[in-house]
A and B are shown apart, each in its own frame.
Chain A
Amino acid sequence: MIVRRLLMVGGLTAVFGVAAAGPALADDLGEYLEDARNAIYSGQRLVRTSWDGIESIGIFEIQHHGGMASVGSGSGSATIGAGRMYLGGPEEGAVSFVLHSDPELGGRYSVAHGEATKHLGRAATVVEVVEAGSVRLRMVVDDSTSAPVATEVFDGDGVLFRYSAMTEFSVWVDPAMAAFDGREYRMMMPLEDADLPIELAGYRLVDAYAAPHDGRQAFYTDGLFSFSVFTTRGRANWDAIANGDHPHESNGYDYLRVISPTSVTVLWNAPTTAIALVGDLPPDHLDQVLRELPLPGTDNWMKRMWRKLFGY
């Protein structure tokens, strides 16, 4: 089990807060996500990912308002939201991803309202996000702030994959939380072509950007989960790069995977391309996506001939 104690925010100068408003159950997932985006809260969140007996746990400090999340303080502060990220401290800097498209995402998910509950003594409502008749995501939504105070993500077999819960919660945030106003950003401009499929197992290609080594970052989402596929020509020594990696077999092919509390990174070399996939998608979705991406291999002419003749 990997346990990481993360930077604690020093001196949360709580100076204001938001009082309760009546619960307003939304009708679809988009409305819940929009309400959560506007939520104002702060606190501490525990996140645990469990996959094939591997566990990774993190404890995070967070402040959230206006669609932005801020962590840390002083030299380690960072604020992120709306495709932008600002890093405070001695080497202050910021980056902004320019969004190219606003895709119409398919209705893979539906929402079912659960029972009223309490989390940390606060009134809350259980909301289930259902995919093909099975619960994919269960959220506990704080009634007064619309903040998701607990979430459970399940894999295709209904096994809990990721769990997160606020262990401390406040409607107070620090007004000094960094705003994006007036900052200069390094711009990440979208590219016209990602050289990858427009759709991967129900995930839509939204944007592509330049990445290291003349590579590309292709960003996919299904409206809830998301992942980026980083590609560059050549072969990478992933064994030397990945720290704490675990082998992962998918569809009969071998990959490396690195599991963090909140995401999974999968690494492999296709015949002519080094590929890394980073995202928060559940394991069954991941395997479906991997099946449709270039497969691991070291194709020589013999292999290519074999595949041409026999199809595998």
Chain B
Amino acid sequence: MAGLIPDPDARGELFSAYFDGQLAPREVAVVSDLLDGDELTIAEFRSFQSVRRSIRLLPQLEVPANLLPDGHLGDRLSAYLDGELVTLEHRRVTRHVVECPDCRVELQELDRARIAIRSLPGVDTTATGEIPVTPAAGHRKRFIAGGIGAVAAAALLFGLAVGNSDEPAFSLDDLGTRHVARASAEPGFAVLPQSVEVSFP
């Protein structure tokens, strides 16, 4: 299966993009095929995963300036994140990042920036701040849910059940969905099952 992408650099770039969430579904399929039964490729995949995890867990320690090594990494940090560095250079950059607080901070900022860019949605400029409130009466309710992860409520996406101003009439489905949608950004979402009820028109 590894023969699908024989070039190790291209494979590394593909894995890097996977962890950045930048792959289209078909490209995810290629990643899965690569990992199918090829132990070396699986080890490479795990290595990328480990590097990404390590970068995010690196401490940001203050070190006296006179102890800083010369020659920072600059553009090579981006290549490092992209998995474009060959073995020896990869090790050297890793060692430098461990020892150099400046490059470590730069690497973490670069990683965060990539994550932020990855998470940028197509912004609907007509709707910011709050979801419009419109009646959703008469909707048929059914329950769909996911084990980890979950579902959407039409009330949240397309309008909210409302009451009169004297007595707030919440939709419990909507509240649950709002919570699950926000909670999906948190680490615990990966291991704790979540679900919400959903209303479809």
A-side interface residues toward B, CB under 8 Å? 4, 6-7, 15-22, 24, 30-40, 43-45, 47, 58, 60-62, 64-72, 75-76, 78, 80-87, 89-91, 93-97, 99, 137, 139, 148, 151, 153, 162, 164, 166, 173, 175-177, 179-189, 206-207, 209-213, 215, 217, 219, 221, 223-228, 230, 232, 234-237, 240-243, 258, 260-263, 265, 274, 276, 278-280
Contacts and interface: CB of A to CB of B under 8 A. Distances in A.
A165 B39 CA distance: 28
Given A15-B29, A148-B191, A258-B172, A47 B147 contact: yes
Contacts of A34: 53, 56, 187, 190
Nearest to A207: B182
Given A33-B188, A81-B185, 12 more contacts: A31-B53, A61-B147, A68-B149, A71-B144, A80-B149, A148-B191, A187-B127, A217-B178, A221-B183, A225-B188, A241-B171, A263-B195
B23, B130, B169, B196: most-surrounded residue (chain A CB, <10 A) = B130
Contacts of B148: 36, 45, 62, 64, 69, 148
Interface of B: 18-19, 21, 23-26, 28-29, 32-33, 35-39, 42-43, 45-46, 49-50, 53, 56-57, 119, 121-124, 127-131, 133, 142-152, 154, 156-158, 160, 162, 165-172, 174-198, 200-201
A82 B148 CA distance: 13
B188 A47 contact: no
Contact of B150 (A71, A179, A184, A232): A71
A29 to B, nearest CB: 8
A228 B145 contact: no
Nearest to B181: A85
6 contacts: A38-B49, A65-B28, A97-B181, A211-B175, A219-B183, A236-B170
B192 A219 contact: no
B23, B127, B185, B201: most-surrounded residue (chain A CB, <10 A) = B185
A188 B183 CA distance: 13
Given A85-B184, A180-B121, A72 B144 contact: yes
